[in-house]
Amino acid sequence: MNEAADLLIVGAGLGGLAAALACARQAPGLRGVDLVEQAAALQEVGAGIQCGPNMTRRWRSWDLMAPLRDLAHAPGAVVARDAASGRELGRLDTRDFEARYGAPYLTVHRADLQAALAASVAQVSDRARLMLGTRIKTFSSHGDEIHAEAAPLSEPLRARLLMGADGLRSAVRSRFWPDVRVPDTGELAWRGMVPMHDLPERLRRPEVQAWLGPRMHVVSYPVRGGEWLNVAAFTEQHGPLPTADEEGHGAWAGEGRLSDLLQATGPVCTPLAETLAALPALRRWRVHARAPLRGVSDMHLRADSPIALLGDAAHPMQPYLAQGAGMALEDADALAQALAAHGATPTALARYAQQRWQRNAQVQARAARNGRIFHAAGPLRLARNLALGVRPQLMDLP
Ligand code: FAD
């Protein structure tokens, strides 16, 4: 029979990889971390993410800055624009984030961040074991151990602690928190990428641009060292929704059509229309979010429980503050600190959950509020535009 690991992490997305890396590096007393991922190979969706200083500070402490140096992009500013006129509404300078927050504001392709995390986990393989192509099916308690049945393994995986980092449709959450609902918000997200050299010079902007319109917004920014433009559009008007089949297990939907996107956005200014039309392919899926966490128990079952949640499994949120992965990395850091202080014990998970739930709840609420501000219509929109001119911190990061 396998030896019991101290910690079994389900899911090797950005959150699970970060948790395995942080625990192996920061809690050297751990006997072993098992990280299981159902996918046969690590594959991130072809899209970018914005990385606030709360995230890049962790990159630095986990030695990820060097591998990401040529892949991340420093946009220098976040610029809010009116989607219909293209007029600049507000500008948040991010060049001084290093001085203000102790870490930079960067954008990166998700696959580049995932690859850097996976390479760093491989460097600590004596303490953290990544098992690809391994799907957790059921769990059971045996004294002070958790046993997890996993396909295609013939024997259960054994561990003292279980961390569900298995995303929006978490199997760990469904098993131990069966009443939690993660509703469809009624919004659609659309994403695509285009090589910069395929865009006319006038559309090659280095900044993060947020194009705000009634009941929609579009965010665009460079990734891969500035060589690709990443574009994400968010619309409240449904148009044809992806079917459950299209959504698949990972919640990434099927193809999107430009004509459906433009129908959902309504009229947009020429630079934005040209940018959207330049995308060679679009993917589209439903946005899901859980209501802000109400207490420790939303991330942790009982005071003496060896089971907890991390990242989107715990606190899926609307992507309007660009902080879902940021919170997953903060969770990972807090988990490692709790394990270093309390060993592989339920007390460590209780400390972790106590430290994290309020911060995650605040960010979930701020993400939802940003959606209301970004998508404002009528008189609220005019007030929002005025406010952005004098206080661009509305777009600031926590
Ligand atoms: P996931 O990435 O979902 O990983 C879960 C993993 O668990 C998957 O690999 C899955 O295969 C695996 N798994 C599931 N079930 C099992 C099982 N039974 N057994 C084994 N493995 C299993 N965040 C930011 O910080 N900045 C941004 O700019 C940003 N932009 C976004 C834009 C959009 C449009 C969206 C939708 C999200 C955005 N986010 C952003 C949020 C961010 O993408 C997520 O919060 C983050 O990726 C969640 O990571 P995770 O590891 O918790 O979950």
> pLDDT at residue 250 above 50?
no
What value, to the nearest 5°, has the Cα angle with vertex 193 and ends 264 and 277?
Answer: 50
Instruction: Give me ligand 1 centre to Cα 312, in Å.
Output: 6
Residue 239 has pLDDT above 90, yes or no: no
C-alpha span between 169 and 150 (Å, rounded): 17
Task: Assess whether the C-beta atom of 322 lies below 6 angstroms from ligand 1.
Answer: yes
pLDDT band at 286 (very low <50, low <70, confident <90, very high): confident
Measure the CA–CA gap between 212 and 120, rounded to whole angstroms. Answer: 38
**Check: complex ipTM more than 0.85:** yes
Tokens 């500013």 identify what position? 77
pLDDT score at 395? 57
189 Cβ neighbours under 8 A, 6+ residues apart: 232, 233, 234, 284, 285, 286, 287, 319
The pair of structure tokens assigned to 379 is 């008189």
Task: Give the ligand 1 atom nearest the CA of 17.
Answer: 51
Which pair of structure tokens corresponds to residue 9? 């992490």
Q: Is the CB of 104 under 6 A from ligand 1?
A: no
Give dist(CA 220, CA 212) in Å, integer: 12
Pairing mode, if any, of strands 48-51 and 77-82?
A: unpaired
Q: What residues pair up with 136 in beta bridges, in sequence order?
A: 150
**Type of residue at 319:** P
pLDDT in tens, 319-338: 999 999 999 999 999 999 99
With a 6 A CB cut-off, is 189 part of the ligand 1 pocket? yes
Which pair of tokens denotes residue 115? 């690859």
Q: Where are the alpha helices (DSSP H) in 323-345?
A: 324-342
Tens digit of pLDDT for each residue in 13-23? 999 999 999 99
Q: Which of 73, 185, 312 to mutate to test the pocket of ligand 1 (most atoms within 8 A of CB)?
A: 312
Nearest residue (by CA) to ligand 1, atom 9, is 13
What is the predicted pLDDT for the residue at 248?
Answer: 43
Ligand 1 midpoint to CA 388 (Å) = 30
The 3-class secondary structure across 207-271, one letter per residue, is CEEEEEECCEEEEEEEECCCCEEEEEEEECCCCCCCCHHHHCCCCCCCEECHHHHHHHHCCCCHH
Computed over every residue of the chain, the mean pLDDT equals 92
Q: Rounded mean pLDDT of 120-140?
A: 95
Owner of token pair 């946009």: 75
Q: How far is the CA of 227 from the centre of ligand 1 (A)?
A: 24
User: 308: Cβ–Cβ under 8 A, 6 or more apart, which residues?
Assistant: 161, 162, 163, 164, 299, 300, 301, 314, 335, 349, 352, 353
What distance in Å separates the CA atoms of residue 261 and residue 238, rounded to the nearest whole number? 9
Residue 239, classified by CB atoms within 10 Å of its CB into exposed (0-12), middle (13-18) or buried (19+), is middle
Among 191, 197, 259, smallest CA distance to 219 is for 191
